[in-house]
Amino acid sequence: MALPSLRLFPVTVLTVLVALVSSSEEHEWHFNPAQCRYALGMEDGTIPDSDITASSAWSDSTEAKHGRLSTGEGDGAWCPAGAVFPSGSEYLQIDLRKLHFLALVGTQGRHADGHGQEFARSYRLRYSRDGVKWITWRDRWSQEVVSGNENTYDIVLKDLGPPIVARMVRFYPLADRVMSVCLRVELYGCVWDDGLKAYTAPVGHVMQLPGMSVYLNDSTYDGSTEQGMQFGGLGQLCDGVLGGDDFIQTKELRVWPGYDYLGWSREALGQGSVDIEFHFERPRVFHNMQVHSNNRHTQGVRVFSKVECLFKPGILQPWSSPALTLPVPLDDLKDPSSRPISLPLGGRPAQILRCKFYFADRWLLISEISFLSVMDEKPNKPEFCSPRFPLLITQSSPPLFSHIPPLSIPRPEFDAATPRAGLPVAKDDSSNTAILIGCLVGIILLLLAVIAVILWRQYWKKILGKVRVSHQHRRSLLPTPVHLCEIENPQDLPNLEFPFNVRKGRPLLVAVKILRPDASKNARNDFLKEVKILSRLKDPNIIRLLGVCVSSDPLCMVTEYMECGDLNQYLSHRVLLDKTGPSHNTPTISYPALISMASQIASGMKFLSSLNFVHRDLATRNCLRGGERHIKIADFGMSRNLYAGDYYRIQGRAVLPIRWMAWECILMGKFTTASDVWAFGVTLWEMLSVCQEQPYSNLTDEQVIDNAGEFFRDQGRQVYLSRPAVCPQGLYELMLSCWNRDCKLRPSFAYIHSFLTEDAMNMV
């Protein structure tokens, strides 16, 4: 049984016992946008500085090359030379050097360790496939202004609906008044292997049904329209979205009936066929064309009866003759379900294709057209032998939570020469030779990839071998082992709802929690509760759940892992900027940076409290750090619903972080959002003390418990954590309010977040 590509560090391979079976649906090779959401190289530097340009820059330290997401080079971002006007004429441009499918974008302001104060609240996007014609991106409702950032540090991700096929992209920051802005960006998507740069087709028609109009137009087409024809652009026929059986129902929300299809009426068109012309970036060899068509014949819609295709090897060359004719037997199409029709093209070379789709009824509706082709100059490397077409492996039983993605691995097993039932297949001996040669090339590339993986693993063994496990980690509340692993092909996860900064072929670090085999029934129930909680948490400052195994023992979950480790380790190796002494070579951190990170923790806890969830183990050891000091709260081993009062137990023994716990948690087992506020106060104390010591380090565990009793007796003998040297009195008073004996008088996380945000802004 094939298992997901998940590797355990440093030396062993993690065996995840997940019941996996092949998907029951036949795998098709049309473009799948869900697997096209990985970072294209702004943040990790894969896109070189020379491919990042701008209309202007305020100085050398804010020029275009500094506009990379989550990095802080120069003065921390790209900033145009002058103030931005509402018209938005300044831009940051990225040249990807080849066509890419762009699924979403990310933006960020200029943070600069808390000293930055510029960000763009909105922006426009323009893109080009050839560097000459520039197109303004608009959403499905024709709106071109994209909402941007609200502060200087948070990353804001925006799904592009519709997506973009482009080589060059420009960001135009906007402002409602004349003001200074700065910008950092990332693009997420994948290489547009199809090579299609434009298609020409008749404008879609409107179907009148009782009580409604069904609009079957190509609403996302980005070319020109004249005299009933659309040309020079791309649209819904190549966006990877397949329409359903009922063409009135749509997969997008708040769109009109018929949105998923482009459709034509035989009567309105005045001819017996729909002519579509496809223009490709370069000459290619075409093996198959797949057309996803509706067949709701009860409403006069039926799959086309035949296709005639002409091939043009080059722009200046004549059309091939005669046309390739491919009939579609209609006696097999009585089922009203929509379906893909696979049409063999016989390995014909072309840069332009012109295909006539003949009506079989009054209406013809198509949602997607894709091609199986290879570059003409490299016929010995067919595209269908590459990981471009993964075979999905899913859990044998329905997932516990629908939006948790099943793990997948690429398995290039599709053979374009295999006949499909009921469809004509043209034999082509030369194409079989090309397939064999291409697969041999694929095997060689696979061996090279294995060597690269081995070298990568050895590198991480050296890095991880230097990591010191802190005392706080040994005292962590995790109910299970946690293994640091990597997913070798994270872009193959089919249902990623947010992007990671990984490129195709690069692994993604993840944490895998496995419930101990001897865990009690209560521990198992708590583990399942934790999975349910994590599946609902979607916030920039909360670690995300990627997948689970709950169908068989051992139970396990896979969560996001921040590549820079935990906050405790990060701070404990630093000193404050204003601290002088013999350790002048020690890395430093500024007070504004500490407040910025604390504000992020408060923001994440505000989100948790809004859902009535209690963390129970908030501390710097359970806050992970990414690039540009981006903080995410982790370790939900003690997560509970607000009204659950029992302890998290392992074999009947409670494990509690008493130095971070409110007195009512220690003495009464009462965990609430207010007790999380107490723990936040201790966490803030840790941060301002740069994690140089444990809270109450002068007290033994027994004395800490006795101190909780003093809070209960309320005779004024309780001991508080002392004010750190760099902590202003106002901030220390906020800590003291977090440790108020009366939990009702402790501040809310919304107030704490507001206080810290205002404090950070006052320091700019």
DSSP state of 464: H
Residue 361 is among the residues annotated as catalytic for this protein: no
Rg (alpha carbons) of the chain, rounded to whole number:
29
User: What DSSP line would sit under 283-297, residue for residue?
Assistant: EEEEEEEEEEE---G
Q: What whole-number distance in Å separates Cα of residue 420 and Cα of residue 193?
A: 24
Neighbours of 692 (CB within 10 A): 12
Q: What whole-number distance in Å separates Cα of residue 550 and Cα of residue 529?
A: 12
Q: What whole-number distance in Å separates Cα of residue 220 and Cα of residue 105?
A: 18
Residue 139 contacts residue 189 (beta carbons within 8 Å)? no
Which helix or strand (DSSP H or E) is residue 579 part of?
Answer: none
DSSP state of 95: E
- Residue 439, phi then psi, degrees to nearest 5: -65, -35
Q: Which two tokens stand for residue 691?
A: 């994690």
With b for 16 or more beta-carbon neighbours within 10 A and e for fewer, the 372-381 pattern comes to bbbbbeebeb
- Could you tell me the CA-to-CA distances from 92 to 9, 55, 491 in Å, in that order? 39, 7, 27
DSSP 3-state of 750 = helix
Closest listed residue to residue 416, CA positions, set 448, 387, 384? 384
Q: Which two tokens stand for residue 161?
A: 């609906």
Q: Which two tokens stand for residue 295?
A: 């067949």
Which helix or strand (DSSP H or E) is residue 97 part of?
Answer: strand 92-108
Q: Which of the following is catalytic: 218, 428, 566, 617?
A: 617
Query: In sequence order, which residues have a C-beta less than 8 Å from that of residue 523 and are 6 or more positions away?
Result: 479, 515, 516, 648, 649, 650
Closest listed residue to residue 128, CA positions, set 92, 103, 94, 157? 94
Residue 289, phi-psi category: left (phi > 0), alpha (psi -120 to 50), beta (remainder)? beta
Query: In sequence order, which residues have a C-beta less than 8 Å from that of residue 334 and are 6 or more positions away?
Result: 297
Q: What whole-number distance in Å separates Cα of residue 162 and Cα of residue 135?
A: 13
Query: In sequence order, which residues have a C-beta less than 8 Å from that of residue 520 and are 6 or more positions away?
Result: 649, 650, 651, 652
Q: Are strands 588-589 and 575-576 parallel, antiparallel or unpaired?
A: parallel
Residue position matching structure tokens 């990839």: 449
Residue 146, phi-psi category: left (phi > 0), alpha (psi -120 to 50), beta (remainder)? beta
Q: What whole-number distance in Å separates Cα of residue 576 and Cα of residue 759?
A: 18
**Helices 673-688 and 729-738: crossing angle, nearest 10°?**
150
DSSP-H helix ranges across 263-413: 266-269
Amino acid identity, position 206: V
Residue 94 contacts residue 189 (beta carbons within 8 Å)? no
> 400, exposed or middle or buried, with CB in 10 Å at 0-12, 13-18, 19+?
middle
* Beta bridge mates, 625: 631
Q: What whole-number distance in Å separates Cα of residue 699 and Cα of residue 130?
A: 69
Which helix or strand (DSSP H or E) is residue 207 part of?
Answer: strand 206-209
Residue 42 contacts residue 187 (beta carbons within 8 Å)? yes
Task: Please give the positions annotated as active site.
Answer: 617
